[in-house]
Structure 1
Amino acid sequence: MLQIFIVAFIVVLDQVTKYLAKTYLKSMGSVPLIQNVFHFTYVENRGAAFGILQNQRWFFIALTVVTSVVIAYYLFARKQESIVFTIALSMILGGAIGNLIDRLRLGYVVDMLHFILIDYPVFNVADSCVVIGTMLLAYYVLFIANKKERRLN
């Protein structure tokens, strides 16, 4: 099933990059890939996006578990009509699981990707997948699902 492949691929990629960041980057702090544009910067994030709600570990674990169960239900228990919908939810679920593993295992989420040029907070592969998946889901809801609904009426 496509869903299982996407979720597993994202979780493995996310965990490998976080392992590499902890192993090699943690002691260095930050390494420029493109000076003053994009750096690999090691951060232990105990909050959510942009560092909000610091030290609310159990809240985020509970929220992630509930959200993941709902997404998994839609992915595996319901018939999927759109590849865009399937990919979007799979990306969100894979990213959620990647960060959940960190919260359960470490008590924080490892971040390492840093766009300095636009002063964007440090993030990771899982975060990227959640954001891209959410954008795909919005695209599906706004443009694809709407057309299907109009055809049925």
Structure 2
Amino acid sequence: MKKKKKKKKEEEEEEEEEEEEEEEEEKKKKKRRRRGRRRRRRRRRRRRRRRRRRRRRGGGGGGGGGGGGGGGGGGGGGEEEEEEEEEEEEEEEEEEEEEEEEEGREEEEEEEGGGGGGGGGGGGGGGRRKEKKKKKKKKKKKEEEKKKKEEEKKKKKNTVTEK
């Protein structure tokens, strides 16, 4: 009798252990599946973001800029855009989990960013080209102001001599 009881107990314990192992394996499978889903979602998000950025920038890979596309690249050198994209990809990998809210915000930005040169668009830091453009604009403005001042001075002198 005692031997039979012992055998039964041992068998029950073995069965319980097997069941626990099976449950653990199932949990692992679920985790793997979830991980796969997350990865796919992340990839999709990254692709969407890249497309949006390209649209905003206007310019494709190297050389020619697209029509009025948006800030940053538009017509910028190819290498510069690639570098920017690499940096942005690294940032995205660090952020990993992002809510759909941010996606919504980015869509709004895309709508604002279209018109002409810069508005809203441009994505990340913009890079060297953007900085150069800004400097040129500033220089031009200063020169124009100088010219205006000189013209005003001349006008004043002329009016004085006429009197």
Settle same-fold status: TM greater than 0.5: no
The structure richer in helix per residue is 2
Looking at both structures, which has the greater relative contact order when contacts are Cα pairs under 8 Å and sequence separation is at least 6?
1
TM-score band by shorter chain is under 0.3
Q: As a proportion of its length, which structure holds more strand?
A: 1
Larger radius of gyration: 2
